Amino acid sequence: MKNIEYAPEELIPIVAELANKYTGYEHSSISYEKAQMLMNAVLYCIHELEITDSNTLQASSIPAREAYQAGREIVMTKIRKLQNLYNDFISDFQDFGSLCLKDTIVKRIPWFLLHYDAIYAPQETLLTLDYPILKHQGNASGIDLVLEYVNCICLEQRFLKKFDIAFVTGTLRLYHEDYEHMIENLCPILLQRIIGHMILHKPFNDFRYTEEDQAHMNHFLEGKSPADVNTVIAEMITELIALYFDNDILLQDYLSLVIGDIAARLPYLPLYSLPQ
């Protein structure tokens, strides 16, 4: 998609208007840093209109001020969406013992909602989201980054909460004795065990691995290229999503981001097992 570009003489009056409001009309000038912040705010809002597919043609043909105002409204809509999304899932949110996940969702997202400046600095993210999600967010910032982040957390909650909490926490404990303090995404750890159990035809609540299981896993992997293993895992994820998640394609696409990681870990799965 081609970037929308406006001449400086179209943008500067918008920045000047923001500057007057920012200073409360008490000063005739602001620092270079503040002026740059406000210019970035204007450009961020225009970009919001640009990345909204339904408005692409419109955005390329309207004055800068209209594009800015329309984009700012998109920012405000995304803030309301984030607030509603957060309110919907936080009441039964589960951190499964992960302190990093708990801190990020319970403390930092509300802090962002409280302090985010949608008018003068919508481009600022304000916080670090320490719990890592599976999706790379590129150069996203501000409400775009945080809203997408929470969307991903909602997908993760849908996945993790589908299974018995004892199975989830037990799997995490086998992966790392002190998993509560890990800064690592929980989904690949659980999905790896589920895929392993599907390969070995074991019930999900059975944490024991035997020598026979190891031999079965070795036989499954024997002669398969990494691409072959990836294909089988992708098929199993599709089956899992169909059986337990009503063919949720968004969740399937999200979990599929770690197929390669799971394939690499499969030979070592029996190491994460209860003592015999």
Other CB atoms within 10 Å distance of the CB of residue 217: 19
Query: Contact at 8 Å (CB) between 104 and 145?
Result: no
pLDDT the model gives residue 5: 82
Determine the average pLDDT of the residues in 222-237.
Answer: 95
pLDDT the model gives residue 11: 95
Distances (CA, A) of 60 to 3, 66, 122, 237: 9, 11, 22, 41
3-state helix, strand, coil in the chain (%, to 5): 65, 0, 35
Q: Grade residue 25 by pLDDT with cuts at 50, 70 and 90.
A: low
Cβ burial 45-59 (10 Å sphere, 16+ → b, else e): bbbbbbeeeebeeeb
Q: Grade residue 184 by pLDDT with cuts at 50, 70 and 90.
A: very high
- Alpha-carbon distance 28 to 276, whole Å? 76
Q: What is the DSSP string of 223-241?
A: T--HHHHHHHHHHHHHHHH
Average predicted confidence (pLDDT) for the chain: 90
Of 146 and 272, the one with more pLDDT: 146
Query: Contact at 8 Å (CB) between 108 and 129?
Result: yes
- Alpha-carbon distance 129 to 132, whole Å? 7
pLDDT the model gives residue 275: 46
pLDDT the model gives residue 30: 84
Q: Grade residue 138 by pLDDT with cuts at 50, 70 and 90.
A: confident
For the record, the structure tokens of 177 come out as 């004795």
Query: Contact at 8 Å (CB) between 180 and 263?
Result: no
Give me the residue spans of the domains in the chain: 8-152, 163-271
- Alpha-carbon distance 228 to 270, whole Å? 21
Determine the average pLDDT of the residues in 240-244.
Answer: 96
For the record, the structure tokens of 27 come out as 């000063």
